[in-house]
A = this chain, B = another copy of it.
């Protein structure tokens, strides 16, 4: 589910909880529209006019809720990472403490993919636009991005310490490779072909076991199986 009204906006002195401030709702609808357009068309092709149309306002009205287009975009981008981060963390927190690291990684992959591909447009808006977004819009995002990266780094380190990842493996590369591959999935994902869970399963197997033949290879094609999970 989404991050609900809470997150960073509940503050203040809710003077009318019953009717819920319409202002907040409109603000939210503008953000949603922006996430939608950023995801579908990209920053270059997203004008305030587009957003206003989507929400049913005039462009000038947007300025009541946001001081500038940049501020609006920045907020969408921030929510994007915030949401994946939270989704992944929550998924891992929900696991049994006894869960293997392999299982943890699998769940993390599934959660990241799900956040990116199924749960609204914020995350994918961020992932897709960030690489080419102007400097000034990127800055505020860097800190939380680093945190999320660290979270994965830690997960993989723990897995290696626990002996579930070979000791000589370069975790840094694994992380960049894995996260990169997942982030690129917005370009090819098709829910009618394969479910996210199925994809996460397969990616996890690929990463841990590799795609090479699972057999001993006495240089002549012997056939002793090395069973491993």
User: With an 8 A cutoff between CB atoms, is A72 at the interface?
Assistant: no
A165-176: CB near B (< 8 Å → 1, else 0) gives 110111001101
A214 touching B177 by the CB < 8 A rule?
no
Shortest Cβ distance from A193 into B: residue: B172
Asked if A132 contacts B180 (CB within 8 A), the reply is: no
Q: Mark A148-183, 1 if CB is under 8 A from B, else 0.
A: 000000000000000111101110011011111101
Question: What's the number of copies of this chain in the assembled complex?
Answer: 2
Alpha-carbon gap, A194 to B177, bound state (A): 14
Nearest residue (CB) in B for A212 is B208
A74 smallest CB distance to B (angstroms): 16
Any B CB within 8 A of the CB of A140: no
Q: What chain B residues lie within 8 Å of A168 (beta carbons)?
A: 229
Q: A134 CB to closest chain B CB, in angstroms?
A: 6
Given contacts A42-B132, A185-B176, contact A228 B212 (CB under 8 A): yes
- Taking a contact as CB atoms under 8 Å apart, the answer to whether B128 and A165 are in contact is no
A201 → chain B closest CB, angstroms:
10
A211-229 to B contact mask, C-beta < 8 Å, 1/0: 1111111111110001011
A97 to B9, CA, bound (A): 63
CB pair A102 B217 closer than 8 Å:
no
Q: Quick one: given A180-B188, A221-B219, are A44 and B132 in contact (CB under 8 Å)?
A: yes
A176 and B202 contacting across the interface, CB-CB below 8 Å: no
Beyond known contacts A41-B132, A42-B133, A166-B214: 8 more, CB 8 A cutoff: A45-B132, A131-B187, A164-B212, A176-B185, A208-B211, A210-B210, A217-B220, A218-B221
